[in-house]
Amino acid sequence: MNATALKYAVLGHPVAHSLSPEIQNSFFELTGYNGVYYAFDVEPDELGEIIPFLKKYFCGFNLTIPFKERIIPYLDYIDDAAKVSGSVNTVAVRDGKLYGYSTDGAGLYGAFAKEGVEFKNKSVILVGSGGVARAALFEALRNSCSVYIAARNKEAASALAADAKEFFGKNVNICPLNEINGHYDIMINCTPVGMHPNTEGIPVTAEDIEKCNVVFDTVYSPRNTKLLQLAKKLGKKTIGGINMLVLQGIASQEIWRGETFSNSDKEKIIKMLSPENIILTGFMGSGKTTVGKVLAEKLGMDFVDVDKEIERNENKAISDIFAENGQEYFRELETKYLKEICGKKGQVISTGGGAVLKSINVSVMKKSGKVIFLDVPADEIKRRLINDNTRPVLQANSFDSVYDERIDIYKRTADKIFAGKESEKLAEEIYIHLNNIKRGE
């Protein structure tokens, strides 16, 4: 960036959690555009005071809670999608005039398409009745969906239903949030329940989730919300809000810059913004699976156990693979699955005890994310394994010889080492460390 960079921003309250600056600045960099994007936390009653400043110095800006509707009186032009939805999230500044648009619908539709979920002609239940619900409602109606609104605020839900009737000529039924009935193709959470920092919340019950095939959460921080975690456990297709955010952000840039971007550019940004993997290494019995599951839940990330993936796909226990094909065959198999698993991002990965023995595995892990060694004392590991007869390597070798062979390799190949005995405490220490890195501490 230089002094001639064109300026853009997002306005909200609060706005500290927003990923928009990271998304937009990354896309400027990717496309070689001389732009810079800021986040402005604006008090709700001060919107009018910042408008002259934006008109004079900025080329465009986005709006989030609580300004998507409040901005409308300040606009010189509003496009049809924004007019119908009564919500504006993108403003272009042209010759001192403000042009308002809504890219929320495009982001929502694009997020479904990216996950291979057909959005046309589906039965949809919207959870919530605010601005996000309004954008989702009108996008669903544009795609000939039948829509039901479940919300705590009956008046707001009734107003949405009335607008749907006025603009689309369609009836939209409403119900209290605790009285969801029937079965739906898609559930869309349009509330902030479960959003950072109050990440424990879930807006609906397990029984409600069972009534749907696909669950979409517009919340993007954390990326794997409690709602999505529960829906996944119940066997539902789940979609997080991050892709919607990225795609609506890129649609904003298309408006500001008068360009159309390729799907490959969009994919690059989505991949760039995915959190790196956290790969746990350590001796067998060191608690990698236990720590990994706790850590994944805290971080809102997926958990993958490499050994379990091998057993599931090969339909054999690892001890049987060793017995039938030998250790070298298993190590080749381990590398194959490790490459596949590390090809994705946003995961906490528990590796097998011998994964670090091959340099190719270490290289794959380090390219994929941060390698963390769980340095559990040898005597504690011995205690845990004393009655465990499922470890092929320990059937042919003494514990001490295997431990002595590997301990230096674990330490040498790790990006960070955490020592201790208690899995819950180790998970908490790692979580705090990762959050401090994110904050730059």
Phi/psi class of residue 27: alpha, beta or left (left: φ > 0; alpha: ψ in -120 to 50)?
alpha
* CB contact burial 72-89 (16+ within 10 A = b; e otherwise): eebbeebbebbebbbbbb
Q: How many CA atoms lie within 13 A of 169 on its CB side?
A: 0
Residues in the chain: 441
User: CA–CA separation, 141 vs 131, rounded Å?
Assistant: 16
User: CA–CA separation, 189 vs 128, rounded Å?
Assistant: 7
Is residue 233 annotated as part of the catalytic site, yes or no? no
The angle, 0 to 180 degrees and rounded to 10, between the axes of the packed helices 104-114 and 242-257 is: 130
The helix/strand/coil state of 305 is strand
List the catalytic residue out of 68, 122, 266, 288.
68
The helix/strand/coil state of 176 is strand
- Residue of 24, 34, 140 whose CA lies nearest to 90: 24
* Cα-to-chain-centroid distance, residue 371: 21
User: Could you list the active site residues?
Assistant: 68
